[in-house]
Amino acid sequence: MPEEFDLDLRSTQEARSLVRRCDEAQKVFARFNQYQVDTVVAAMAEAGFRAAERLGQMAHEETKLGVPNHKTIKNQFASRDVWEYIKDIKTVGVIGRDDARRVVEIAWPFGVIAALVPVTNPTSTVLFKAISALKARNGIVFSPHPSAAKCTAEAARIMAEASVAAGAPPGLVGCLTQSSLAGTQEMMKQKAVHLILATGGESMVHFAYSLGKAAIGVGPGNVPVYVDRSADVAKAARDIVNGASFDWGVVCSHEGAVVVDAPVAAQMAQELERNGAFFLDDTQIALLGKAMLKPDGMMQADFVGRSPQQLAKLVGITVPDDARVLMARLAEVGPQAPLSREKLSPVVAFYSEDGWRRGCERCIEILNFGGLGHTMGLHCRNEDIIIEFGLEKPASRITVNTTTLGGAIGYTSGLPPSLVLGTGGMGGGITSDNITVRHLMNVKRLAYEIHGFDPPKAVAVAKPPAAAAPPKPETDMEALVRKVVEEVLSRKS
């Protein structure tokens, strides 16, 4: 207990120091011109790309999750691909003009960004967030997951050193080395922090939202994929297995469930098996579902990012050595079917539904059970059905004829390259976009007059004359006096 208390104190103090130093550096960096900013960020992207393989190996060795060379690909994507997409975006000074409406747009940074880093993607997240944050002239301080503290800190160090070598002020990129819940919360609460990038556990995302600061969070990605009878079934099976097996399922946009149109269900199962999917029997499904998921739906940590063989060993079953994905035939969605939840592992639920309308309903059911607003996939060659799915699904990204893993993050599709995927109002988020540099800067606007404003003068309205007050009712004494006077006057006459 005393050691934990000491860690909290050290972590809290480190958080305050890092944010203060970052704030001072950012005030200097905010005055850099576009060329200077781009020189700094280009150097960071190059350094991240060069270190991609080493960082991937470090992440695997420390966390024991996923596949080292798959992590290398993520690191390369987070550095090279992201930089290629954002390098020509203006983030300094005047960034846009609308001459017709006489509006001038001016970029303005948030300041210091507090960034949470998940254990599932500890190095690629750092590269992506650091490059995006500094492109918008922000500073950034990272809080690593305790199980990935070393590789996260190393990725942040590489970003920091590359930025300083290219002319940025020291302290612009920081990372907690004394990682604790107290330190992370203290970092987010600092007055100098004006934006929180909350990629992490659900409780921490909710805490970030509760602070009254600007915050961008993400939700769970229980991703369903519908395979229509018109699909290229062989390609669909290949994409699904490639996506679900990549880095052993730790990327939230990977395929979590397959909903197959009944006429091609048998063919689809054969193609999945040909690509390395292994179909579990009912007993194995029950054992795996009970072991890997808690009653509240959260995954047991030992099952996250493990190979099919490791998963099988954990529950005492046998699967082939060449199995890349475990498939579970299910008939229901909900707590009674644990494997219908999000699974950060190469385990995929398999459903068969007759017709695209039934398939559509099943996909919505899956999204509502744990992936609302995130991502879904569609393999189909009927454009009318594709549009119907786009109109009806409560998902911010609907990938078409590609793997959802790569399509959602912009690796195999034309979406903006990003490792932070907004879930929009459907999933409790502020945006449904793939988060990029544009979301990490403010845009001020000069608005010139285009229409004169000369309203008619107000005319005073005369008040109506006050109505005469109603006669005051007589009292009993007044009535008696009046009666007596009238009688006396009548006698005289």
Tell me which residues are annotated as active site. 252
Token pair recorded at residue 51: 């270190």
Tokens 């579902």 correspond to: 289
- Sign for the CA dihedral angle at 374, 378, 383, 386 comes to negative
Q: Could you give the CA distance from residue 57 to residue 70 in angstroms, rounded to a whole number? A: 10
Tokens 């409780």 correspond to: 203
CB atoms within 10 A of CB 80: 18
Characterize the bridge pairing of strands 347-353 and 441-447: unpaired
Contact by Cβ (8 Å): 372, 427: yes
* β-sheet bridge partners, residue 225: 258, 377
Our CA angle for 406, 413, 256, nearest 5°, is 35
What is 205-230 written as a DSSP string? HHHHHHTTSEEEE-----EEEEE-TT
The amino acid at 469: A
Q: 114: helix, coil or strand?
A: strand
| DSSP 8-state secondary structure symbol assigned to residue 461 | P
Tokens 């009674």 correspond to: 336
Q: Could you give the CA distance from residue 78 to residue 66 in angstroms, rounded to a whole number? A: 17
Residues with Cβ within 8 Å of 3's Cβ and at least 6 positions away in sequence, in order, are: none
Q: Residue 314: enclosing H or E segment and its boundaries?
A: helix 308-315
Q: 130: helix, coil or strand?
A: helix
> If DSSP states are collapsed to H, E and C, what string results for 171-208?
CCEEECCCCCHHHHHHHHHCCCEEEEEECCCHHHHHHH
Token pair recorded at residue 55: 């960082």
316: left (phi over 0), alpha (psi -120 to 50) or beta: left
Characterize the bridge pairing of strands 103-109 and 441-447: antiparallel
What is 340-382 written as a DSSP string? GS--SSSEEEEEEESSHHHHHHHHHHHHHTTTTEEEEEEE-S-
Q: Could you give the CA distance from residue 424 to residue 306 in angstroms, rounded to a whole number? A: 30
